[in-house]
Amino acid sequence: MNAFQPSFKLAEKEREGARVRKRYHAPATPSDRLLADPRTSNVVRQRVETLRADLDPVRLLADMRAAQQALVGIADRAGPPARPATAQREDTVPIAAFLAGLRTAWQLGEVRPTAQTKPKPKRGRRRPDPLVAVTDELHAWFEADPSQTGCDLLVRLQAAYPGRYRDALLRTVQRRLKVWRGEIASSLVFGVQPRTAQPADTISGTFA
């Protein structure tokens, strides 16, 4: 960061009433500012120039990824044995292989080992589906008039089957309606055909 990442520094600030005007120096790295400062001695200037000439951002990135991969391996092992200092470079990726992988790294998204998340297992339904017998009928009503709300569908369902479906099922109908509307939106945007009617709560896992 001191050698390759430039930043802005405030040069001066003027206030005119409620208006504040700020002027910044040209962006520069901390090492550039140190070299440009007349107070820097020749000995320090030579050390900074020598250090910066030896730095390689691509090699540095490869070493960082290799170190991250080694940390992930240590975290995955129970009771890792102590490694000698001479064996710390065994997991380093060859620079040629690292550069060759940069061409396709963007297709894989985040390539840092520490950024990989473990997928959580999907939670299945814990209770029987209360609308399994009328799902097709609800879907048919929705396709006939997609502007209907979950409350409209539940009222119509209660009128068709008196005393069978209580008001507490409103949230379940609304979740199912949300899935069906999402399928229609996908078909309009991506040209994907909507799937057949299925219980929306098999995706969410619960119902009200």
CA 167 to the chain's CA centroid = 38
Residue 145 belongs to some domain of the structure: yes
Vertex 34: Cα angle to 32 and 36 (nearest 5): 70
Query: Is the separation of the CB atoms in 176 and 135 below 8 Å?
Result: yes
Q: Which three-class secondary structure state does DSSP give residue 57? A: helix
96 lies in the same domain as 36: no
Angle between helix axes 150-160 and 170-190 (nearest 10 degrees) is 120
Question: Tens of pLDDT along 104-131?
Answer: 665 665 555 556 667 777 776 677 888 8
Rounded Cα distance, 200 and 208, in Å: 12
The answer to whether residue 126 sits within a structural domain is no
- Identify whether residues 198 and 143 lie together within a single domain: yes
> What is the total count of domains within the chain?
3
> Would the pTM of this model clear 0.75, i.e. be above it?
no
Residues of the chain predicted below pLDDT 70: 78-94, 99-117, 124-125, 191-208
Residue 119 placed within a domain: no
pLDDT at residue 78, rounded to an integer = 54
pLDDT score recorded for residue 39: 92
The pLDDT assigned to 22 comes to 92
Q: Please indicate, yes or no, whether residues 49 and 61 belong to a single structural domain of this protein.
A: no
Q: Which domain holds residue 66?
A: 57-80+88-114
Q: Is residue 64 part of a domain?
A: yes
Is residue 33 located within the same domain as residue 70?
no
18 and 63 share a domain? no
**Is residue 141 assigned to a domain?**
yes
| Whether residue 153 is found in the same domain as residue 105 | no
Q: Do residues 43 and 67 share a domain?
A: no
Q: 62 and 31, same structural domain?
A: no
120 inside domain: no
Question: Do residues 39 and 96 both lie within one domain?
Answer: no
Does residue 28 share a domain with residue 48?
yes
For residue 37, tell me if it sits in a domain: yes
Count CB neighbours of 156 within 10 A.
Answer: 14
Structural domain contains residue 1: no
| Claim to verify: residue 25 and residue 72 sit in the same structural domain | no
